[in-house]
Amino acid sequence: MNETSLHYKTFILLLVLVSIAFIWILLPFYGAVFWAVTLAVIFSPMQRRLQNRLHWERNRTALATLGICLVIAILPVIVISAMLVQEGALLYKNVESGKLDIAAYLDEFKMLLPASAQHLLDRLGMGDFNGLRDKITKGAMQGSQYLATQAFSFGQGTFDFVVGFFIMLYLLFFFLRDGHELVRKIRNAVPLADQHKRRLQLKFTRVVRATVKGNIVVAVTQGALGGLIFWLLDIPSALLWAVIMAFLSLLPAVGAGIVWAPVAVYFLLSGMLWQGVVLGLFGIFVIGLVDNLLRPLLVGKDTRMPDYLILITTLGGMSVFGLNGFVIGPLIAALFMSSWGLFSTNRRPVRLPG
């Protein structure tokens, strides 16, 4: 081993160790860094348009873009989260006091079924709702208790939240201002061919924008429409159900129908025909069509992945990374597919001698 090779391997080892240490230092605020990068990718086109139209200096343009992002993307999330915590605390009190009796609703739902359906459930061993009732009641208590606990213990985590929030805003400002230069430096440092780096960068930006801009807009729209119809029909905890429908809308194989459809069936079986018909028609022709109309416009066909892959990677991402996983999961899957696509298209066949 010559001296040059030894120096190069030592340098590579040092580079790996320093990179691992750098990532380890950033881990406590990985959420703030991740969302700063994500929002910078989404709002960078707006920043460039403002720069080209107004001809401001970079600091002023980045600050204006940051203000727009704060108003239309960040503050609404904070307000809705605070309202959701209050709604969860109220739901917990209602379940704990017996004002909201989930067990009674299940028993009433069974009694509303036709006699043949009840006999069929009994023959299949599903006629006894006690186990299911206890699980649903326990789950509702745990979920609402968690939200209620967050309402009372929010002050304990306020400092960490404020620090992470301002780190995100601070980084977002510099990513908006210097993002183009940072991307160029990263591209120069990556040891790949230029066409490969361009393809991976394009895939990264497309998936981030498609996942956040497309899926979140669709989810928020479906959740807002579902919450609105629940509120108009005087269904308790409409805001909480709206948020649940919005989250379920991120999963293509599940959707918001898992919330509004059983409620519509309950209305029809309990004799509240007009409520059941209105909710069913609204869910099918309004909430259900949002995904088919908005998603192709906001996401685009060339950036979409198979629905089953989105479902698996979204669930897996959220189980590993928490709420951030609904973006990280599909992003990793897209980069995985793109990397293997590059490998397969650029692989050269091996010719055997003889």
pLDDT tens digit string along 80-111?
777 776 776 676 676 666 666 666 666 666 66
What element of type H or E holds 7? helix 3-26
Band of pLDDT at residue 350, cut at 50, 70 and 90 = very low
Total tally of structural domains belonging to the chain: 1
User: How far apart are the C-alpha atoms of 221 and 344, rounded to whole Å?
Assistant: 39
Q: In this structure, is residue 44 part of a structural domain? A: no
The answer to whether the CB of 72 falls within 8 A of the CB of 216 is no
Domain extent, residue 335, equals: 194-344
Cα 140 to Cα 127: distance, rounded to the nearest angstrom: 22
| Average pLDDT over all residues of the chain | 76
17-26, 249-258, 308-317: the lowest-pLDDT one: 249-258
62 assigned to some structural domain: no
Q: What is the tens place of the pLDDT at every residue in 274-306?
A: 888 999 999 888 888 887 777 666 655 555 667
Report yes or no on 211 lying in a domain. Answer: yes
Record the tokens describing residue 268, joined without a space: 């029809």
List C-alpha distances in Å: 122 to 72, 77, 111, 116. Answer: 52, 46, 13, 10
Say if CB 177 and CB 59 are below 8 A apart. Answer: yes
User: Nearest Cα to 263, choosing from 244, 289, 290, 291?
Assistant: 244
Residue 282 in any domain: the answer is yes
- Residue 169 belongs to a domain: no
Distant-in-sequence contacts of 90-97, Cβ < 8 A, 24+ apart: 90/237, 91/140, 91/144, 91/147, 91/237, 91/240, 92/141, 92/144, 92/145, 92/147, 92/148, 93/148, 94/236, 95/137, 95/140, 95/141, 95/144, 96/141
CA distance 209 to 303: 10
- CA dihedral of residues 199, 14, 182, 188 (deg, nearest 10): -50
d(CA 242, CA 258): 12
Most confident stretch, 19-33, 80-94, 125-139, 331-345: 19-33
113 lies in some domain = no
Which range, of 127-131, 191-195, 211-215, 349-353, averages the lowest pLDDT? 349-353
Cβ partners under 8 Å of residue 38, min gap 6: 208, 212, 327
pTM over 0.85, yes/no = no
Sequence-ordered list of residues with C-beta below 8 angstroms from that of 132, at least 6 positions apart, any chain: 106
Within-domain flag for 316: yes
**Residues 127-136: pLDDT tens digits?**
555 555 555 5
Q: What are phi and psi of 201, to 5 degrees?
A: -65, -40
Helix (H) or strand (E) holding 338: helix 325-346
Residue 186 lies in a domain: no
